[in-house]
Chains A and B, each alone.
Chain A
Amino acid sequence: MRIFFRLSSVFQITALAVLFLVVFWSQTGYNHFFKDRRLHYPAQVFLAPATLVESSSFGFRNFLADVFWIQSVQYLIIEGLLKNSFMFQYLDIVTTLDPRFEYPYLFANLILPRKGSIDEARFLTDRGIEAIPSSWQIPFYLGVQYKVFSKDYEQALKYMNIAASKPGKPDYVDSLIASYTLRSGDQTSARELFDAIYKTTTNEFIKQSAKAWIQEIDHIGLIQSLVFGYKRLYGVYPQTIDDLITRKLIGKIPDDIKSFRFIINQETGMLIIE
């Protein structure tokens, strides 16, 4: 020790620098080791089933629901690193412990369909509709997701209709129902719905939107009749609606329905809007 203290200060500073370099090297090596491991091994391989957590909650249901809720929010960040997602299980636990906690249902409807788990979102939504009968948002969110992610207008309409039956729902829910009805191929019902919205709403924006939709539906009806006329003239249905222009059945497609992508069913001649 005495020798060490007798060494020059330059040597001491150098020794200190070397020691810190060793510290830095060992720390980065340590971090690198665990970084590699994290990439190869999932951090989580098991989550207890909701029923087990519920029966072990012993009077702390709300507290545990909150803990699992906070965990699920954090889980969203690391989920991409894992092989299997436990997001549904997390939200299942939260909503089992506290079925009246509304936000996890909305969260599920925003997150799960995006990952291709719309059936799991529906499972939670059905639970939410039963537990919180006053919430229009829970079925509404799922209805929108059915339209956006799976183009399943039947399911979308089912949940939109549930949302529409709830108190406090905004006026545009009715408009969406009419819109989904149109896209599901039922133009007559869609026109009736938009007509009802036009006559009853007090919101000027929705009134004008409904009016525009009625006009669009009428134009779609016109195209539909021309498709049938095409069949009478040429014996087959047109491949696309552009064939109607080529054969001079119509001068141009009305501007307001130009944005729609139409498919013509070659067996029935019905227009399908994508």
Chain B
Amino acid sequence: MFNRVLAIALNTFRESIRDRILFVVAVFALFIIGSSLFLGSISLDQDIKIIKDFGLTAIFLLQIFIIIFVGANLIYKEVERKTFFLILSKPIKKSEVIMGKWLGLSLTIFLMTALTSLMFFGVLFIKIGTLNGIPYLILAILLGFIEATLIIMISILFSGFTSPILSSVYTVSLFLIGHSSSVVLGIIDRQDNVIIKYIFSVLYYIFPNLEKFNIRNDVLYNSIPVFQTLALTVVYALAYGAALFLIAKFIFDRREY
């Protein structure tokens, strides 16, 4: 089983690496990192903070853009080119295809993240001349990567039953909702109506809470969340990812290709 998943993953990796959009997105990320040098110089001596913030944001944006532009096309391209039928005619399960696609795109994002991070650390090292604080930044990037893998699964889930454009729209919407969980929590706290409170509470737990993966502000001030919260965040990602996988499998199993 693992060999079949790995074969699809490597194939997805090779295919996505060849995608021109990937390089446009990478250049965009590098442009943001580069521009932080200039913007830092007009920020009243806050250049280190600006470079770190812009670097972390650029890497995060890179991950999200790859998912939106490449991930949404993953299944659709296969169906359009009829290659999906060839794969399904082999002794392979649809769940293994989903897992392979997820792993392949995760590998692509990991590679791009690693390359951009090296560039980011290089710029930072040139500016401050030390590697202090880099481990904190790596931790923030890693948590961002875990978030990205969760969004990949969301993207695959949607690309299983809609067009690439709609899949992108749905993925972006869930991303935005996932980063607005504190707003939903605020609504729940302020709400007097029990029914509305209950509805919002259900929505709060159903939609992904992506803000917990965001420790970019904490690492900037060399403070990281306690181990317990980090562990709970990883457990949350595993559980939510597995749930998404099961839903995607359910949809793919019932769809005729």
CB within 8 Å of B: which A79-127 residues: 98, 100-101, 103, 107
Q: Could you tell me the distance between the alpha carbons of A101 and B57 in the complex, rounded to whole angstroms?
A: 17
B43 and chain A: residue at smallest CB distance: A70
Overall SS of chain B's interface: helix
Binding-face segment, A60-68, A170-178, A223-231: A60-68
Q: Could you tell me the distance between the alpha carbons of A114 and B216 in the complex, rounded to whole angstroms?
A: 34
B39 touches A62 (CB 8 A): no
Interface residue total, chain B, C-beta cutoff 8 A? 26
B175 and chain A: residue at smallest CB distance: A58
Whether A73 is near chain B, meaning CB under 8 Å from some CB there, is: yes
CB within 8 Å of B: which A34-80 residues: 55, 57-63, 65-66, 69-70, 73-74
A58 touches B56 (CB 8 A): no
Q: Could you tell me the distance between the alpha carbons of A98 and B42 in the complex, rounded to whole angstroms?
A: 19
B214 touches A59 (CB 8 A): yes
B176 touches A66 (CB 8 A): no
A103 touches B57 (CB 8 A): no
Q: Could you tell me the distance between the alpha carbons of A273 and B239 in the complex, rounded to whole angstroms?
A: 69
Binding-face segment, B7-15, B44-52, B94-102: B44-52
CB within 8 Å of A: which B164-188 residues: 175-176, 179-180, 182-183
A63 touches B176 (CB 8 A): no
Q: Could you tell me the distance between the alpha carbons of A59 and B179 in the complex, rounded to whole angstroms?
A: 6
**How far apart are A138's CB and chain B's nearest CB, in angstroms?**
15
Report chain B residues within 8 Å CB of A61: 214, 216-217
The 8 Å CB contact of B211, one of A59, A62, A73, A101, is A59
B221 touches A62 (CB 8 A): no
14 contacts between A and B (CB under 8 A): A55-B180, A58-B176, A58-B179, A59-B214, A61-B216, A62-B216, A63-B53, A63-B57, A65-B53, A70-B50, A74-B42, A98-B217, A101-B46, A101-B49
The 6 closest A-B CB pairs, nearest first, are A63-B57, A59-B179, A58-B179, A62-B53, A55-B183, A66-B53
Which residues in B have some Cβ–Cβ distance to A below 8 Å? 39, 42-46, 49-50, 53-54, 56-57, 60, 175-176, 179-180, 182-183, 210-211, 214, 216-217, 220-221
